[in-house]
């Protein structure tokens, strides 16, 4: 489904907000090198369903690479240098990932993006991500860069209040979204994934987000 739309969009740019855009197919040239790198990260730090402070298991399974990784448990959400499962440091951020994130950020108008955290989300058909803001990072001046792989997702792009009406934006294999500045703290989420199969990845979607999580606290 949507294969024609997906290939027609590749190479185009969707401006979602003043400082938020989707670079369609931007990651496609990186994908052949990314998949084996991703496999080695997953061997050291497999996907897991984390528990929310409210005591629920997240629908999305996740892992991290980089100096800091996003984690959740009964005590709250936070970034931490170690994987709580292995108690070892998260796998290092691959140079290829850094290059992709930095090049996409520059293309979207954010120079010198140096992420120290990379959150890797895993979706299967039915998985959803409810509306939230990304605000566990310390310095909101840095953008977030997201890479979508595998089956498509309907992304929800909301406003600055949870109750603001959200736009629905399809995200396809190879799409890169970049958002920062005035759009950095928008509510967003992902609708339950439809049953589909991707030729490379099968019935799954992987979303990789690059963030600057540490450093000195700073407003947008």
Instruction: Please report how close the Cβ of residue 119 comes to ligand MD3 at its closest, in angstroms.
Output: 5
- The CA distances from residue 204 to 3, 24, 80, 123, in Å, are 16, 19, 27, 6
Residues 68-127 that bind ligand MD3 (CB under 6 A): 119, 121
Nearest Cα neighbor of 115 from 162, 165, 55, 70 is 70
Provide the CB-side half-sphere exposure for 147 (13 A, CA).
Answer: 27
C-beta closer to ligand MD3: residue 38 or 87: 38
Residue from the set 24, 173, 188, 212 that interacts with ligand MD3 by CB under 6 A: 188
179, 20 contact by CB (below 8 A): yes
Residues near 146 by Cβ (< 8 Å), separated by ≥ 6? Answer: 176, 177, 178, 207, 208, 209, 210
Judged by CB under 6 A, does residue 64 bind ligand MD3? no
Cβ neighbors of 112 (< 8 A, separation 6 or more) are: 102
By beta-carbon proximity to Fe ion, the closer residue of 134 and 137 is 134
List the single partner that 30 binds among Fe ion, ligand MD3, none, CB under 5 to 8 Å by kind: none
Q: Which of 134, 137, 175, 183 binds Fe ion (CB under 5 A)?
A: 134
Contact indicator for 194, 1 with CB cutoff of 8 Å: yes
Residue 137 touching Fe ion (CB under 5 A): no
Q: Of residues 71, 72, 127, 146, which one binds ligand MD3 by CB under 6 A?
A: 146
Q: x-or-dash pattern for ligand MD3, window 4-23, by CB under 6 A?
A: ----------------x---
């Amino acid at each position: 489904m949507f294969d024609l739309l997906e290939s027609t969009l590749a190479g185009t740019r969707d401006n979602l907000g003043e400082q938020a855009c989707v670079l369609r197919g931007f990651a496609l040239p990186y994908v052949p090198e990314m998949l084996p790198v991703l496999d080695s990260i997953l061997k050291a730090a497999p996907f897991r369903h984390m528990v929310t402070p409210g005591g629920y298991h997240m629908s999305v399974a996740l892992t991290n690479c980089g100096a800091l990784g996003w984690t959740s448990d009964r005590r709250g959400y936070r970034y931490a240098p170690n994987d709580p499962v292995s108690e070892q440091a998260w796998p290092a951020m691959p140079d290829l990932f850094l290059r992709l994130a930095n090049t996409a950020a520059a293309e979207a108008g954010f120079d010198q993006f140096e992420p120290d955290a990379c959150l890797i989300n895993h979706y299967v058909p039915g998985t959803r991500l409810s509306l939230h803001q990304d605000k566990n990072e310390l310095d909101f001046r840095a953008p977030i860069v997201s890479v979508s792989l595998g089956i498509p997702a309907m992304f929800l792009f909301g406003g600055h209040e949870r109750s603001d009406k959200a736009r629905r934006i399809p995200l396809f294999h190879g799409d890169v979204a970049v958002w920062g500045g005035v759009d950095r703290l928008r509510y967003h989420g992902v609708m339950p994934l439809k049953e589909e199969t991707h030729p490379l990845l099968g019935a799954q979607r992987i979303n990789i987000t690059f963030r600057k999580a540490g450093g000195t606290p700073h407003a947008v």
